[in-house]
């Protein structure tokens, strides 16, 4: 069963200058446990697709489904991780990771203990009583991941989650998130401008075109690359050939 599906989706915006078609004829499916990457030029509608999955927008035409159910609005089954961590500075790390559970009315003893176990698994056991300003950027992003996972979503949306981090921390978090999604059997959609990141982390990479946003090409990542960590994948000989193919696709689009 597809965890996410788009069927004939168009998305249009009405502004003072007229009507703009952001997405046109979007059709694809993401299988349960699969991580796909969306790449393409700025303004091609990558983040709009995430907003449609999250129920923050509704398609002008067509249908978006999550776990076979039409998306009618935000759902606890969908977690969203952004470029910025958006941790509340006046709350401790413990209170930040429990925020989603509080909003959903699910802050039980068991769920609280699970969230704290996740914090420990991320190597952040000793940060529970600290505040966001006391943590590095990489640590804060790990806290944001714990907050997302604590609500027990089945789908994780990742919108440029590493772009504000230095390269070493970025690689570490790529490995951490890929391993976490695989271990928990979660479905993911990654939006990124980093082609290497998309190829190293994902099972498939979809290249988008713009004006309007369309799905242009799909690249299935070879199993021998998918079996490696994102760090190791970058050293595989097939990685570089695939990178050149995707890069050429994007250059044609620009």
- Residues counted in the chain: 254
Number of domains present in the structure of the chain: 2
Range of the domain at 96: 90-152
User: Same structural domain for residues 171 and 240?
Assistant: yes
Q: What is the distance between the alpha carbons of residues 42 and 45, in angstroms, rounded to a whole number?
A: 8
Mean pLDDT value across residues 41-61? 94
Asked if residue 138 and residue 113 are part of one domain, the reply reads: yes
Tell me: the pLDDT tens digits for 85-110?
A: 899 999 999 999 999 888 888 889 99
Task: Tokens 């690359």: give the residue.
Answer: 225
Task: State whether 133 and 177 are in the same domain.
Answer: no
What is the residue-averaged pLDDT of the chain? 91
**139 and 21 assigned to the same domain:** no
pLDDT of residue 254: 55
CA 156/CA 227 separation, integer angstroms? 20
pLDDT of residue 137: 87
66 and 108 share one domain: no
User: For 53-87, what is each residue's pLDDT tens digit?
Assistant: 999 999 999 999 999 999 999 998 999 988 888 99
pLDDT tier at 208 (50, 70, 90 boundaries)?
Answer: very high
Condensed to tens digits (0 to 9), the pLDDT of residues 132-166 reads 999 998 899 889 989 998 888 999 999 988 877 78
* pLDDT band per the 50, 70, 90 thresholds, residue 253: low
Give pLDDT, residue 177. 87
**Distance from C-alpha of 4 to C-alpha of 38, rounded to nearest angstrom:** 14
Residue 83 lies in a domain: no
**Is 126 in the same domain as 203?**
no
User: Do 60 and 48 fall within a single domain?
Assistant: yes
Q: Is the pLDDT of residue 206 over 90?
A: yes
DSSP string, 14-83: EETTEEEEEEEEEEEEEETT-EEEEE-STTSSHHHHHHHHHTSS--SEEEEEETTEE--S--TTEEEE-S
Q: What percent of the chain has pLDDT over 70?
A: 99
């Amino acid at each position: 069963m597809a965890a996410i599906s788009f069927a004939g989706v168009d998305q249009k915006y009405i502004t003072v200058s007229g009507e703009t078609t952001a997405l046109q004829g979007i059709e694809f499916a993401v299988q349960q446990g699969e991580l796909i990457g969306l790449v393409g030029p700025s303004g091609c509608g990558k983040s709009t697709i995430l907003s449609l999955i999250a129920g923050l927008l509704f398609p002008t035409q067509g249908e978006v489904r999550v776990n076979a159910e039409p998306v009618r609005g935000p759902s606890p089954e969908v977690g969203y991780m952004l470029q910025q961590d958006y941790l509340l500075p006046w709350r401790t790390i413990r209170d930040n990771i429990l925020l989603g559970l509080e909003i959903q009315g699910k802050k039980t003893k068991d769920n609280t203990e699970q969230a704290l176990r996740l914090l420990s698994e991320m190597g952040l056991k000793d940060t529970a009583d600290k505040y966001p300003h006391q943590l590095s950027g990489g640590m804060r992003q790990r806290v944001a991941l714990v907050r997302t996972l604590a609500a027990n979503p089945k789908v994780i949306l990742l919108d440029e989650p590493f772009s504000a981090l230095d390269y070493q921390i970025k690689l570490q978090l790529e490995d951490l998130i890929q391993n976490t999604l695989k271990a928990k059997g979660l479905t993911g959609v990654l939006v990124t401008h980093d082609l290497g990141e998309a190829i190293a982390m994902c099972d498939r990479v979809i290249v988008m075109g713009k004006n309007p946003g369309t799905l242009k090409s799909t690249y299935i990542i070879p199993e021998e690359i998918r079996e490696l960590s994102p760090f190791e994948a970058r050293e595989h000989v097939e990685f570089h050939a695939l990178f050149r193919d995707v890069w050429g696709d994007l250059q044609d689009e620009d």
